[in-house]
Amino acid sequence: MRYLTINNELFIENRKKFSKQLKEKSVAIFYSADQCPRNGDQYHTFRQQSDFFYLSGIDQEKSILIIAPDHPDQSLRECLFLIKTNEKIAKWEGHKYTKQEAESTSGIKSIFWLDEFDFYLNDILSESSNVYLNRNEYPKFFPEAEEKNHREGDRLKLKFPLHNYYRSAPILATMRGVKSDIEKKLIEKACDITEKGFRQVLKTTKPAMFEFEVQAEVDYIFTKNRANGHGYAPIIASGKNACVLHYIENNDECKDGDLLLMDFGAEYANYTADMSRTIPVNGKFTERQKQCYNAVLDVFKELKKLYVKGNSSTLINQKANELMETEMVKLGLFTKKDIEMQDKDNPLYKKYFMHGVCHPIGLDVHDIGSKHRIFEPGMILTLEPGIYIEEENIGIRIENDILITDGAPVDLMKNIPIEVDEIENMMNQC
Ligand code: GLY
Ligand code: MN
Ligand code: MN
């Protein structure tokens, strides 16, 4: 792997905690991610299914994990099924896990080849009453293609209709919400690489560069520092493009006098950072740009204080709306009188600020978990206020990743330049 070896205690502990939450006589089955076809005979780059990785550390396609904590044969309580390599696979595709490597990566002792799966599955199911299947239950996400957990789960239910079926997703969503010490270190590493990428952008960005050239600087730094790449499609949006929230074309020229909004995060060992910064293309904010930037920065600083246990995203989003509305009045976008007259169902601030400021990160940039969950120590969430004034060619977002603790919030990106002076000084160093 490109990333350094992860202490397998992470995966051992995750399986232990997951197992404790199953009903008696249960088996849980997890499939690795699909190799997604691209076109012709090509696949998209493989990215492991996040839950599969969380429970096994195995970063290889066509893998299956079975967890059956009550199986009478202790050796069948945790089993991995992997591709059995051969000379041809080794020649054309390269190395696949040996049994020893899979064991040391995952901490699982019973490693089998895939052709033994049906045999063992039958045995394990005959000792189980309950089957836990996994699905992507991300709300408001409706992909056309069904992932392997979904397809194989449906097949299993047809073949073994008399078992009781349950969902693994809610258990995993709750577990993944609170990060262990090993996970915190991996996310910190992703944040550090992201910082390096941004510092490179500060050093190299000049008027007339294209957005994709800015991205190339980031790509280079990410890869050089052992990132798999980006945790999500990077946004490199100059001028009016910054007002398109999910702009990912990154094809336009960065013009003198424009702002450049960037939202990118390195993915290290399948864990992602999520950062946004906005800089002046020519290294100097105009007075108006500075005014708008500092309005967002002030809101950011105010909101950060609320990232403490007992609070929630709902509360933070509410507060963000209030604070941004006040700033917009100061920026002259509308008046207090306009607010009194506004349609309460469509408040004026929504024209310039239309998204939430807070989501969990981890193995996925929008990590699974209820948005109503009360903050607990170990949760890592973004803080990302913004303002988008299309008529002035101004789009600004500032985003850091914050760890909830027993005490004060810990900003995992506190060393990444954020103040106007810091950004201008770094951009103007020869
Ligand atoms: N980069 C996606 C987000 O900020 O939510
Ligand atoms: Mn982001
Ligand atoms: Mn975000």
384 CA to centre of ligand 3 in angstroms: 6
pLDDT tens string 227-270: 999 999 999 999 999 999 999 999 999 999 999 999 999 999 99
**Topology at the third CATH level for domain 9-177:** Creatine Amidinohydrolase; Chain A, domain 1 (3.40.350)
Find the helix or strand (DSSP H, E) in which 16 lies: helix 9-20
Whole-prediction pTM = 0.97
pLDDT at 179: 98
Question: For a substitution probing ligand 1, which of 141, 261, 263, 277 has the most ligand atoms within 8 Å of its CB?
Answer: 263
385 CA to centre of ligand 3 in angstroms: 10
pLDDT at 140: 87
Among candidate residues 32, 366, 12, the one with its CA nearest the CA of residue 177? 366
Report d(CA 38, CA 340) in Å as an integer.
53
Find the helix or strand (DSSP H, E) in which 94 lies: none
| pLDDT mean across residues, the chain | 97
401 CA to centre of ligand 2 in angstroms: 9
254 CA to centre of ligand 2 in angstroms: 20
Which one has a higher pLDDT value, 87 or 399? 399
Query: Residues spanned by CATH 3.90.230.10 within the chain?
Result: 181-427
**pLDDT-based confidence at residue 422 (cuts at 50, 70, 90):** very high
Query: Residues spanned by CATH 3.40.350.10 within the chain?
Result: 9-177
Report d(CA 157, CA 170) in Å as an integer.
19
Find the helix or strand (DSSP H, E) in which 278 lies: strand 275-280
Q: 133 φ, ψ to 5°?
A: -110, 155
Cα torsion 94, 97, 98, 104: sign: positive
pLDDT at 393: 97
263 CA to centre of ligand 1 in angstroms: 7
Burial of 168 (0-12, 13-18, 19+ CB in 10 A): buried
pLDDT tens string 317-356: 999 999 999 999 999 999 999 999 999 999 999 999 999 9
pLDDT at 275: 98
pLDDT tens string 173-205: 999 999 999 999 999 999 999 999 999 999 999
147 CA to centre of ligand 3 in angstroms: 24
pLDDT tens string 111-126: 999 999 999 999 999 9
Question: For a substitution probing ligand 1, which of 250, 355, 365 has the most ligand atoms within 8 Å of its CB?
Answer: 365
Q: Does residue 430 have a pLDDT over 80?
A: no
Q: Atom 4 in ligand 1: which residue has the minimum CA distance?
A: 274
Q: Are 382 and 282 in contact (CB under 8 A)?
A: no
* DSSP code per residue over 298-348: HHHHHHHTT-STT-BHHHHHHHHHHHHHHHHHHTTSS-HHHHHHS-TTS-G
Question: For a substitution probing ligand 1, which of 218, 267, 274 has the most ligand atoms within 8 Å of its CB?
Answer: 274
225: DSSP letter: T
Per-residue burial over 385-402, b = 16 or more CB atoms within 10 Å of its CB, e = otherwise: bbbbbeebbbbbbbbbbb
pLDDT at 326: 98
Report d(CA 136, CA 51) in Å as an integer.
10
- Ligand 1 site, CB within 6 A: 232, 263, 274, 359, 365, 384, 399
Q: Atom 5 in ligand 1: which residue has the minimum CA distance?
A: 366
181-427 sits in which CATH class? Answer: alpha beta
